[in-house]
């Protein structure tokens, strides 16, 4: 049951994220990194679905690959992408811009 929920959430997040990203691309490209977040969350949910498929099917290789995809987002993607998204939105003269760039690099 949990695999179906993960895959269903993935479909809605990727679809909505794609639609929002298209709007951001057309209206103001500075919002594109922020608009891509639901799409990336959908991809993360998709990898989580494979963890559940592997767990339910007693397939350790599927669990491993699904977990590695999920861990990529939680350990690498989000710690870099969130501060980068805010960095792009900050005005050029903002004193916080350097801080967000530093956090994205450290992430």
Q: Report pLDDT digits (tens) over 53-66.
A: 999 999 999 999 99
**Lowest mean pLDDT across 31-35, 52-56, 82-86:** 82-86
Alpha helices by DSSP H, 57-77: 60-71
| The overall pTM is greater than 0.75 | yes
Q: What's the pLDDT at 66?
A: 94
In 3D, which of 91, 107, 88, 87 has the Cα closest to residue 99? 87
Q: How many CB atoms lie within 10 A of CB 17?
A: 19
**Cα 107 from Cα 97, distance rounded (Å):** 15
Look at the block and give the residue holding tokens 């895959």. 7
């Amino acid at each position: 049951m949990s695999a179906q929920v993960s895959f269903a959430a993935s479909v809605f997040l990727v679809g909505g994220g794609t639609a929002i990203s298209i709007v951001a691309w057309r209206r103001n490209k500075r919002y594109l990194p922020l608009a891509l977040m639901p799409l990336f969350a959908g991809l993360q949910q998709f990898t989580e679905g494979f963890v559940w498929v592997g767990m339910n099917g007693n397939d350790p290789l599927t669990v491993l690959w699904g977990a590695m995809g999920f861990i990529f987002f939680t350990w690498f993607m989000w710690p870099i992408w969130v501060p980068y998204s805010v960095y792009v939105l900050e005005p050029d003269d903002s004193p916080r811009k350097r801080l967000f760039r530093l956090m994205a690099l450290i992430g």
